[in-house]
Amino acid sequence: MKQTWRTSECLENTSAMEKGWSLTQAMNEAARCHLCYDAPCSKACPASTNPAEFIRKLRLRNVKGAIRTVKENNILGGICAVVCPTEQLCQKACVAAGLDRPIDIGHIQRFLVEHSWQMNFKPVEKAAALPGKVAIIGSGPAGLACAAEVARNGYKVEIFESMEKPGGVLRYGVPSFRLHPDFLDRELKDFQDLGVKIICNKKIGDTGAEKLLEKDFDAVFYAPGTWKPVEIDIPGSRLKNVMTAREFLKMMRTGEQKDLGKQVKGKNIAVYGGGSVAMDAATTAKALGANKVYLIYRRSFREMPAAEHDIKMALANNVCFRTMSIVTELVGDKTGCLKGLKGLETDWKKSGDTSAANLTTVNDTDFKLKIDFFIPALGYQPETTAQKVCPAIKFSKKGLVETKSDGVSTSHPRIFSGGDIVRGPALVVEAVADGKAAGQKIVNMLTATAKPARSRKATK
């Protein structure tokens, strides 16, 4: 597997991914663990990857056992270690944080996965084949996690993906310096070993979920994600050189990097938003050779939803942050090309309330920026076609799937759903949790359905 690594926060190109740890580094870090009983770090992982157990096993030099704990609990354990904000989840709950600093769970977890590749160790075993077939719509983290859960229990699984390659947001929404395609492809190899069939360039049309059930599929897991950008409603949003963050990042992952670089190099760029996607877009633009990159966010630094690591990377690459500000207008020239923006500063109506409803603009704080390229990163919502694929289940007014109290069962007994299409844009590890939960539900359903038939056969 070819890899291009970066060794610092300052990017020299857009395809360099930080190198993982060595065995010595991982063992030294594991030695700092307090081996807590009923460990809070494990409770804080949405996907129940159980860091307390794999760190304990590593500390006792049971490397294979540690690897098995990661991969059996989280089939995307390597990817989650790379892209998830561990400092806000498991590491935040770490007891060691109160004494020194939290255990770097993310780097240990990634080491274990990469070490398994070097050892050619396959920790996840597949059960004997059973009658039953499951269709999964979408190959993002939720769909993949569900596929693994079902396949490892012996059932056939087919994933239908509309894009050219599998991975969903992992492939088309995360820049290479955070998650290199080679790393993603290597972790996806585990699904081949489980016998999961992934069919790409296959778009499921109207009533497609029900049609799959009418064929030879016993259950459907619906996880198409949320791909439609939230549109920016300000004058000038239709000017040339206005591109959504997801479109911008997707171009980087589909071989259009050179064309994008020509548009960005030496130019002034403004990114509008405060999430990790906004940070990725801003850092990518800087790495492509942009002159100045401004990141404009309506709330303060403290309220930014982006992961701490992503913010630090943007700062290290000289992205200019302008918080407590909004964009009020994009200004174009006679040819319809973007040439600048206008904005206003914001403030809180009442102190202590950081909700969007408590924000207000401040008079006489007008500002202007000379920019050549504008990237809104205001979040994503379901495609308008999402409901047409599954008209048999209920959707909210926002276009999200409505589930039962378990978070994955829908109004149709054989259709399950999870990930962003249920939660709205959320963390990769939360999508993995949904996929696992749905997979367990599907396995239970298939097992219960098969029992009467097996009992009759045994009686004969």
Residue-wise pLDDT for 394-410, tens only, equals 999 999 999 999 999 99
> Which residue range forms the structural domain that includes residue 236?
231-378
Domain end marker among 345, 378, 411: 378
Does residue 128 belong to any structural domain of this protein?
no
What would the DSSP string read from start to end of 94-125?
A: -GGGGTS----HHHHHHHHHHHHHHHT---PP
Same domain, 241 and 374: yes
Assigned domain for 190 exists: yes
371 and 419: one domain? no
81, 109 Cβ separation under 8 angstroms? yes
pLDDT, residue 14, reads 67
Does a structural domain hold residue 126?
Answer: no
Residues 73 and 164 in one domain: no
Residue-wise pLDDT for 439-453, tens only, equals: 999 999 999 987 554
Tell me the average pLDDT across 52-71. 98
Percent of the chain with pLDDT over 90: 84
Q: Which of 115-124, 255-264, 368-377 bottoms out in mean pLDDT, i.e. has the lowest?
A: 255-264
Q: In this structure, are 288 and 214 located in the same domain?
A: no
CA distance 173 to 410: 27
Is residue 269 domain-shared with residue 355, that is, in the same domain?
Answer: yes
Of 323, 344, 378, which residue sits at a domain end? Answer: 378
Assess if residue 425 is contained within a domain: yes
Domain boundary among 336, 359, 378: 378
Do residue 286 and residue 153 come from a single domain? no
Give the model's pLDDT for residue 456: 37
371 and 243 in a single domain? The answer is yes
> Which CATH number belongs to the domain containing residue 342 in this structure?
3.50.50.60
Parallel/antiparallel/unpaired status of strands 219-222 and 197-199: unpaired
Q: Are residues 169 and 292 in the same domain?
A: no
- Tell me the average pLDDT across 222-245: 94
- The arithmetic mean of pLDDT across residues 56-65, rounded, is 97
Q: In sequence order, which ranges of 330-400 are alpha helices (DSSP H)?
A: 386-389
- Global pTM value: 0.92
101 plus 223 within the same structural domain: no
Residues 64-81 have pLDDT tens digits of: 999 999 999 999 999 999
Kindly state the average pLDDT of the residues 344-365: 94
DSSP letter assigned to residue 401: B
The label of the residue with tokens 């992934």 reads: 198
Query: Domains in the chain: how many in total?
Result: 3
Mean pLDDT of the chain: 92
274 within some domain: yes
The residue ranges of DSSP E strands in 240-333, in sequence order, are 268-272, 292-296, 320-322, 325-332
Residue 29 placed within a domain: yes
Q: Residues 353, 326: one domain?
A: yes
Do 181 and 245 belong together in one domain? Answer: no
In a domain, 333, yes or no: yes
> Is the domain of 275 the same as that of 322?
yes
CATH of the domain at 35: 1.10.1060.10
Residue 125 belongs to some domain of the structure: no
| Helices 63-73/105-119 angle, 10° precision | 110
Reported as a pLDDT band with limits 50, 70 and 90, residue 12 is low
CA atoms of 187 and 213, how far apart (whole Å): 29
